[in-house]
Chains A and B, each alone.
Chain A
């Protein structure tokens, strides 16, 4: 495949993903960001500690995820009767009430996508600690990217709070351990995203086409 496609040296030239403008980026120090000169999109954000810091945060997120999914989100008591619900318990109740499609959407956005995001990122970061990581780690990183918009932990958190206020009109409700875990997860996920440097991870992975590192490629030709 390499003889068919020529590639630019890994850091020199970037095409903006939002407006396709070609631009040469200067050498960036950790903590620096480069924005597209034309549309303002962030092209590269160099992290201070690109592997170990997101790894620590991801491990913490994994623990919060486990607690959030196994503990009750809230407890209800009214005239001596008690009830509680978990994340997947909520989706399951929707399924039982005949809303199968909605139940699947909720289960996906509230539990499956966050779990897939955290687990795939964990695999990626562990592999990237000892470069070159095997090529299939790239597939994992693709899963991470794909899950990001569908992982709606912060939306769910607000949803739980609104439900809590609504039900408080009808009965006594108290937040459970699961809700606090969701709150912790809600803070950890953006922290992970802020400390992550996908560019750095990609350079540490083995190429699908077989090369360990970037193949020595000739400088990209300028168009006439």
Chain B
């Protein structure tokens, strides 16, 4: 090896998070704004760890009522039946469309849980200053960013079911309280993914080298 890899931060260079322009701010403590696009320049996303933890904890709390409370209530001839997310999966499975049941199960139950675990794992390893499997952890982060949106699936399913099945007094469908918590989990984890700064994964190693 000729020389250790050099990062922007080590050389006093800062890349704009919006347009990617590499700039050398005169005052490192107050980088100011990007001359090309006008976005605020930041060495790392501000308070990344604390903000992301707060969002992950909030999302984990919402995850419980999201799964326990009903998401849909079906009123048919005066009797109302309530369904949770898992109930919806079972309904799809018993009605013969197991591929859709699997998709909903993955998107609504496993992806949100996986996201919470993944972001938590990234936060803990960054806080412990881990320098192992950086590449894999960065890839995990990119995956979390990519698949997070798919959890919104059940919110859309519930919305369009509610909107279409309004045949009072014959049959009607109402949204349950679980939908709100479910949407909250998705929104909170998506914001958490955007407040986490993947460059922190690599910062631990470069500090030891220099």
Contact = CB atoms under 8 A, between A and B. Distances in A.
Interface of A: 1-8, 10, 13-15, 17-22, 38-41, 73-74, 76, 78-79, 81, 83-85, 89-94, 97-99, 101-103, 105-106, 109-110, 135, 138-139, 141-142, 145, 149-150, 152, 155-156, 158-163, 165-167, 169-171, 173, 198-199, 202, 205, 207-209, 211, 220-223
A173 B163 CA distance: 13
A26 B199 CA distance: 23
B22 interface: yes
A74 B202 contact: no
Nearest to B194: A149
B152 A39 contact: no
A88 B9 CA distance: 46
Contacts of A163: 156-157, 160-161, 164
B164 A167 contact: yes
The list of the 6 closest CB pairs from A to B, nearest first, reads A159-B156, A15-B8, A208-B38, A209-B35, A223-B11, A90-B163
A221 B22 CA distance: 12
B53 interface: no
A15 B24 contact: no
Interface residues of B, number: 80
B122 interface: no
Contacts of B35: 1-2, 5, 7, 207-209, 211
Contacts of B199: 17-20
B71 to A, nearest CB: 10
Contacts of A93: 159, 162-163, 166
B37 to A, nearest CB: 4
Contact of A220 (B19, B24, B103, B145): B24
Contacts of A102: 155, 159, 175, 179-180, 183
B155 A105 contact: yes
A135 B38 CA distance: 9
A129 to B, nearest CB: 19
Nearest to B154: A159
Contact of B103 (A10, A138, A158): A158
Interface in B110-144: 134-135, 138-139, 141-142
A18 B142 contact: yes
B159 A90 contact: yes
Nearest to A211: B35
A interface: dominant SS: mixed
Contacts of A152: 149, 152, 156
B150 interface: yes
Contact of A169 (B23, B95, B141, B201): B95
Contacts of B21: 7-8, 10, 202
B22 A105 contact: no
A121 to B, nearest CB: 15
Nearest to B31: A5
A165 B100 contact: yes
A192 to B, nearest CB: 17
A149 B149 contact: yes
A138 B32 contact: no
A97 B158 CA distance: 12
Contacts of A223: 6, 10-12
Nearest to B24: A6
* Candidate in B141, B156, B164 with the most chain A CB atoms within 10 angstroms: B164
A106 B180 contact: no
B104 A15 contact: no
Nearest to B141: A18
B208 interface: no
B7 A99 contact: no
Given A4-B32, A169-B91, 7 more contacts: A5-B35, A7-B24, A93-B166, A99-B175, A162-B157, A165-B97, A205-B36
